[in-house]
Amino acid sequence: MPENADPAVNAMTVDVEEYFQVSAFEPHVDPQRWSFLPSRVEASVDRILALFELAGVRATFFTLGWIAQRYPALVRKLADSGHEIASHGMNHVRATEQDRVTFLADVRRSREILEDVSGQAVRGYRAATFSIGKGNFWALDALAEAGFTYSSSIYPGAHPAYGMPEAPRFAFRAQQSGLLEIPITTAELGGRRYPCAGGGFFRLYPYQLSRWALRRVNRVDRQPVVFYFHPWEVDPNQPRVPNVGWKTQIRHYLNLHRVEPRLRQLLADFAWDRMDRVFPMNLTAETIRPQAVTEISQDA
């Protein structure tokens, strides 16, 4: 545990994808071009590994199957360094854009590739853009069918592109399969939920506000935080995708130069570990029925 860190142990996660694979660039970057664009992921992950090694932190890397196929040495390096390898799907396709058959095939293939490359059992999954929610709750049971033990794919709040405000804020189990869902962390204040655990909000908010919100979750809710970021967020010199609108530019490029120093401070201010060690898979958590989601929504 870092000196002066909060005593709660939280889950540090990295969504391993290239800068050109983010959902905001879907209208601008054809997946057929991905293999021809300058790759930055290996160098960015090396910077992250150096940060984690200095802080004595082990993390969970939700990795695309596409990445594992092209950079197997990168995945092996993560596994050999003591980090957990988990799945981010094959090609960063949102779960909301897949039917059950397509989704099941996608997650099975990604898991097989990651296990073959890493030599680790892959138990965790995170959907692209937190795209599991009320409309496709079946995906949790499909993940269990594919051999996964847990998911971290729900944002339990409101967002223009995703989110499930009526979902539990903290870990729960899907009733049919028993799969453990561990939502990304939100802070609750005045009955409203606010994002506080990484991504663009970590770049947008002053660091002191992020630290306050995460400590509130540890101390008031008495729950571990699930924090996430991407390799491209520690790469302020990444190539710029042309012809994107100003909102997308702000969403992707804002304050990239501040992420690495903020991460150093975050690693010092809190204690961190892998998802599978912060959340033992035999965790007793609330069980929720898909139909109960509607009941929660009506009561809100």
CA distances in angstroms from 244 to 22, 24, 25, 117, listed in the order given: 13, 9, 8, 35
User: At 57, which CATH number?
Assistant: 3.20.20.370
pTM score of the predicted model: 0.93
298, pLDDT greater than 60: no
For residue 246, with 0-12 CB atoms within 10 Å meaning exposed, 13-18 middle and 19 or more buried, which class applies?
A: exposed
Q: Tell me the pLDDT tens digit for each residue of 83-121.
A: 999 999 999 999 999 999 999 999 999 999 999 999 999
Q: Tell me the pLDDT tens digit for each residue of 225-241.
A: 999 999 999 999 999 99
Q: How far apart are CA 122 and CA 43, in angstroms?
A: 24
292, pLDDT greater than 80: no
Could you tell me if residue 1 is inside a domain? no
Could you tell me if residue 260 is inside a domain? yes
Judged by phi (left if over 0) then psi (alpha if -120 to 50, else beta), residue 228 lies in beta
Q: For residue 176, what are the domain limits? A: 6-299
Calculate the average pLDDT of the chain: 91
Number of structural domains the chain divides into: 1
What burial letters (b/e) apply to 99-134, b meaning 16+ CB within 10 Å?
Answer: eeeebbebbbebbebbbebbebebbbbbbbbbbbbb
pLDDT, residue 300, reads 36
Q: Tell me the pLDDT tens digit for each residue of 17-31.
A: 999 999 989 989 999
